[in-house]
């Protein structure tokens, strides 16, 4: 079902006519009572007309609708979709039209409309009680909203459990699809976000790992959740968009807001990263030390400072490597005798 605009009339003339008719009805009631007291003819008729209008004159009032900027109202008439009010202003529609918004009372982890991690309802601050009334109304917001689903535990491509949280910026672009295609478009979006995150995260390792294909082209690459967060977020956005097109929603952006190893393996992974950093640092130190020893031997030989046999060269190399590669300061021993 496609959205269609509802051609509604301005509500001001209807409001003024209704109020004027009420004033006229009150005048008829007063005039009819006066004529009845005075025994004049027509008093009963005037009183009856005034009373009937007082009882039924309110019927046009439910047809008066106020639409604020970036709001919409989906209306049905006797079960049939009659159209959507999207333009801000004061309008009059059929008084028996019914506004439809199945997600009006749904509270998700999103801006101005949230649940906490334990699923309890969070209330809006008491400084603005109108906000609570507005949230439970049947109007559908067309603003860009942010959905912050709770952190979820997912296994990466290597089977390591990780925790990840995603923030999704979204908006309603087709109110008819959002209302009539799915049962509750907010819950539908939340579930599709969870599913898309799990589907994409399972294709990546947390850190760069060898022989892992994250793009699906059959070739190993260096993609990872930590190092390719922008690419992962864009893939999540496309995945969610493909799932919510039928609900008339547009995904503006998606961002990873939390990423960490699960608590049960976090300590072990931290030790692994520390060990890898130590190995890399030691490798750099050894490479530099070997180069310095090689340079020292070449300088000594080129300048004929001292002639060393293989045994003495080996001892010198050993001593220099101990000095250069040691993690603590060495205590030199001075030989005051001959070299040999």
The better pLDDT of the pair 134, 332 is held by 332
C-alpha closest to that of 196 among 170, 219, 163, 168: 168
pLDDT tens figures, 222-258? 888 888 889 999 999 999 999 999 999 999 999 999 9
Tell me the pLDDT of the chain averaged across its residues: 81
User: What does the block give as tokens for 25?
Assistant: 């009805």
- Sign of the Cα torsion 198, 201, 202, 203 reads positive
Q: Where along the chain do the CATH 3.30.479.30 domains lie?
A: 129-261
C-alpha closest to that of 256 among 163, 160, 188: 163
Question: Does residue 232 contact residue 166 with C-beta atoms inside 8 Å?
Answer: no
Task: State the average pLDDT over residues 309-314.
Answer: 72
Question: Does residue 187 contact residue 149 with C-beta atoms inside 8 Å?
Answer: no
pLDDT for res 168: 93
pLDDT tens figures, 156-187? 888 888 899 999 999 999 999 999 999 999 99
Residues in Cβ contact with 237 at an 8 Å cutoff, skipping those fewer than 6 apart:
168, 251, 253, 254
- Beta-strand relationship, 98-99 and 71-77: antiparallel
Architecture of the domain spanning 129-261: 2-Layer Sandwich (3.30)
pLDDT tens figures, 82-96? 999 999 999 999 999
Kindly report the length of the chain: 340
C-alpha closest to that of 241 among 230, 255, 252: 252
Task: State the average pLDDT over residues 51-65.
Answer: 88
The conformation of residue 319, written as its DSSP 8-state character, comes to H
Q: Determine the Cα–Cα distance for residues 269 and 244; give it in Å rounded to an integer.
A: 36
The conformation of residue 211, written as its DSSP 8-state character, comes to T
């Amino acid at each position: 079902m496609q959205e269609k605009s509802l051609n509604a009339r301005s509500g001001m003339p209807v409001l003024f006519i209704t109020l004027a008719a009420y004033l006229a009805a009150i005048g008829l009631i007063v005039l009819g009572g006066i004529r009845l007291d005075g025994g004049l003819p027509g008093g009963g008729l005037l009183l009856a007309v005034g009373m009937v209008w007082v009882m039924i004159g309110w019927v046009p009032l439910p047809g008066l609708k106020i639409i604020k900027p970036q709001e919409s109202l989906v209306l049905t008439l006797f079960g049939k979709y009659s159209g959507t009010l999207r333009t801000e202003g004061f309008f009059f529609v059929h008084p028996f039209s019914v506004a439809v918004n199945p997600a009006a009372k749904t509270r998700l982890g999103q801006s101005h409309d949230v649940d906490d991690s334990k699923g309890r309802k969070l209330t809006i601050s008491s400084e603005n009680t109108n906000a609570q009334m507005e949230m439970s109304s049947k109007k559908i917001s067309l603003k860009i909203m942010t959905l912050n689903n709770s952190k979820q535990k997912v296994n990466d491509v290597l089977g390591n459990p990780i925790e990840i949280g995603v923030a999704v910026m979204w908006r309603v672009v087709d109110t008819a699809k959002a209302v009539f295609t799915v049962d509750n478009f907010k819950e539908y979006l939340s579930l599709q976000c969870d599913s898309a995150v799990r589907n994409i995260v399972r294709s990546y390792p947390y850190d760069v790992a060898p022989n892992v294909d994250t793009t699906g082209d059959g070739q190993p690459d260096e993609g990872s959740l930590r190092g390719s967060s922008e690419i992962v977020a864009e893939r999540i956005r496309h995945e969610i968009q493909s799932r919510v097109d039928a609900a008339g929603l547009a995904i503006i952006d998606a961002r990873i807001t939390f990423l960490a190893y699960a608590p049960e393996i976090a300590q072990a992974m931290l030790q692994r990263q520390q060990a890898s950093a130590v190995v890399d640092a030691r490798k750099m130190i050894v490479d530099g030390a070997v180069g310095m020893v090689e340079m020292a031997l070449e300088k000594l030989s080129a300048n004929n400072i001292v002639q060393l046999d293989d045994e003495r060269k080996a001892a010198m190399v050993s001593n220099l490597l101990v000095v250069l590669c040691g993690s603590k300061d060495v205590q030199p021993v001075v030989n005051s005798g001959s070299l040999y």
